[in-house]
Amino acid sequence: MQQIGGSGVIISGWPAVWRVRAPDHTLDPVTPAERMTITRIRQLGDPILRVRCELVKDTRAMATRLVVADLRETLRDFRERHGFGRGIAAPQIGAPLRIAYVEMQGEELVLINPEIVDVGHEDFEVWDDCFSFPDLYVRVMRAHHIRVRYLDLEGAPRELEAVGDRAELLQHELDHLDGVLAVDRATGPDPFCLRSEWTRRYAAAGRYGPPVPRAFDYVSHPAELGSPG
């Protein structure tokens, strides 16, 4: 639940209640609880998944670290229960902040205020899934090679190059920070498939198609592309 008032947005659902203060959008706990928690993942249809998230002003604040800890514990709990899961974004746990957390190929990565600063010249087809609609696969096109700029927890600027499955995962998580979901990027005929049906029909071929030359200029929001193909 969220309430809008003179002091900003009130976010409940964590062990403490948090206030995003206006106008600087810093995040402070209303109560002194300082423990990580496994948090309910917001599902398709929840309005917070459509919010354009706010920049984090202080990467070293305790509140920022608590959000990251909650993301980590929530992702690991989901993966333990469901058998899959590599990344999660702050709005998925009810925090409208530009933070994403990824665990992939033995790497733990915290991205604060991330942005894609360059893309390669090829795209590839992906059967995308999401914690916020875990029983559904969506066929999308993603850039095969990207460069991402972000801040770490100490506030240091960093950049990384990502290719293939790592690139598509980061694009998925960064989309969340702008209120964009995989269902918005659906492409091609019959782009939606229940997980059980996908496993039966498509699992043998895998989730990823080969990279192909891009047929259009890359944009950050699907609305700029017009209607999906």
pLDDT of residue 64: 96
Residue 9 near residue 20 (C-beta atoms within 8 A): yes
Query: Tokens standing for 117?
Result: 């600063």
**Taking Cα atoms as reference points, which of 159, 103, 167, 177 lies closest to residue 141?**
167
Which residues are designated catalytic? 173
- Output the average pLDDT for the chain: 85
| Interval 13-49: pLDDT, tens | 443 444 444 344 444 444 434 456 899 999 999 999 9
| Interval 126-162: pLDDT, tens | 999 999 999 999 999 999 999 999 999 999 999 999 9
pLDDT of residue 117: 98
Q: Does residue 218 carry a pLDDT above 60?
A: no
> How far apart are the C-alpha atoms of 153 and 66, rounded to whole Å?
11
Q: What is the pTM of this model?
A: 0.80
pLDDT of residue 229: 36
**Four-point Cα dihedral 215, 220, 223, 227, nearest 10:** 20
- Distance between terminal CA atoms of the chain? 36
Q: What is the mean pLDDT of residues 47-71?
A: 97
**In 10 A of CB 214, how many CB atoms?**
15
pLDDT of residue 215: 79
pLDDT classification of 105: cutoffs 50, 70, 90: confident
pLDDT classification of 178: cutoffs 50, 70, 90: very high
pLDDT of residue 7: 33
pLDDT classification of 106: cutoffs 50, 70, 90: confident
Q: Of the ranges 136-140, 154-158, 194-198, 225-229, which one carries the lowest mean pLDDT score?
A: 225-229
Q: Of the ranges 82-86, 150-154, 166-170, which one carries the lowest mean pLDDT score?
A: 82-86
pLDDT of residue 176: 99
> How far apart are the C-alpha atoms of 167 and 48, rounded to whole Å?
24
> How far apart are the C-alpha atoms of 229 and 190, rounded to whole Å?
11
Domains of the chain and CATH, by start: 2-215 (3.90.45.10)
**In 10 A of CB 17, how many CB atoms?**
14
pLDDT of residue 160: 97
| Three-state DSSP string of the chain | CEEEECCEEEECCCCCCEEEECCCCCEEECCCCCCCCCCCCCCCCCHHHHCCCECCCCCCCHHHHHHHHHHHHHHHHHHHHHCCCCEEEHHHHCCCECEEEEEECCEEEEEEEEEEEEECCEEEEEEECCCCCCCEEEEEEEECEEEEEEECCCCCEEEEEEECHHHHHHHHHHHHCCCCCHHHHCCCCCCEEEHHHHHHHCHHHCCECCCEECCCCCCCCHHHHCCCC
